[in-house]
Amino acid sequence: MNALEKIKKIKVVPVIVINDENNAEKLAASLINGGLPVAEVPFRTPAAENAIKRMKAYSPDILVGAGTVVNAEQAERAIAAGADFIVSPGLSESVADYCRQKNVPYIPGCVTPYEIMKAIDCGAKVIKFFPAGAFGGLKTIKSLAAPFGSVEFMPTGGVNEDNLSEYLSFDKIATCGGSWMAESKLIDNGKFDEIESKCRAAAEIAAKVRA
């Protein structure tokens, strides 16, 4: 099973901004124990690169992607650290090229038909629809999905426990991303039990919508 198939099976991807790489192992454990063995770690903090490395070293069972990757140099660092997939807030052709060379799935951010067509040209199979809430949420995704049958969507930005099941009820949603399960303040304050229970709650919602 490749990374995209695994993401699709897990159905929810916690987006986790990590400030201290020393939290990587406890965080990985709480995701695994909470039933969501996956993370998108944004390349927005200096700790991101080593945190990815340490989460992957902690367990081969956890899928770790790098988020907020805006250029090929970051993609190179993320993949060298062990990232299983690469996510951007928009579409970068240079990141797409690099990921293709390395055979690592790339999930570019797109919110318009033009961007989705460029993403298809780049070989993308899953599109990050970001920021989902601000761009019309599921209504917009349904409109975009009609002409673009070859891609699936990962809405992120404004997805939460209250609207997760609604998003997942649409079969063109590959998975949903969001920060609500593992916010930085929970990590920084060592609230790993809380992260685990939020992950479990999200996993239970997802399991109800899609067995």
Two tokens at 111? 């919110």
What are the backbone dihedrals phi and psi of residue 163, each rounded to the nearest 5 degrees, phi first?
-110, 0
- Active-site annotation holder among 128, 152, 196, 198: 128
| 8 A C-beta contact, residue 202 and residue 182 | no
Two tokens at 159? 């997805």
Is 40 noted as a catalytic residue in this protein? yes
Q: Minimum distance from CB of 194 to ligand 3PG (Å)?
A: 16
Residue 59 or 191: the one with the smaller Cβ distance to ligand 3PG is: 191
Residue 45 or 179: the one with the smaller Cβ distance to ligand 3PG is: 179
Alpha-carbon distances, residue 177 vs 131, 134, 155, 194 (angstroms): 10, 15, 6, 18
- Active-site annotation holder among 8, 11, 40, 56: 40
Residue 82 or 158: the one with the smaller Cβ distance to ligand 3PG is: 158
How many residues in total does the chain contain?
Answer: 211
Q: Minimum distance from CB of 88 to ligand 3PG (Å)?
A: 10
- Interface with ligand 3PG (CB under 6 A): 15, 42, 67, 130, 156-159, 177-180
Q: Minimum distance from CB of 48 to ligand 3PG (Å)?
A: 12
The residue type of 81 is: A
Residue 108 or 177: the one with the smaller Cβ distance to ligand 3PG is: 177
| 8 A C-beta contact, residue 16 and residue 40 | yes
Is 128 noted as a catalytic residue in this protein? yes
Q: Over the range 24-40, which residues count as b (16 or more CB within 10 Å of their CB) and which as e?
A: beebbbbbbbbbbbbbb
Active site members: 40, 128
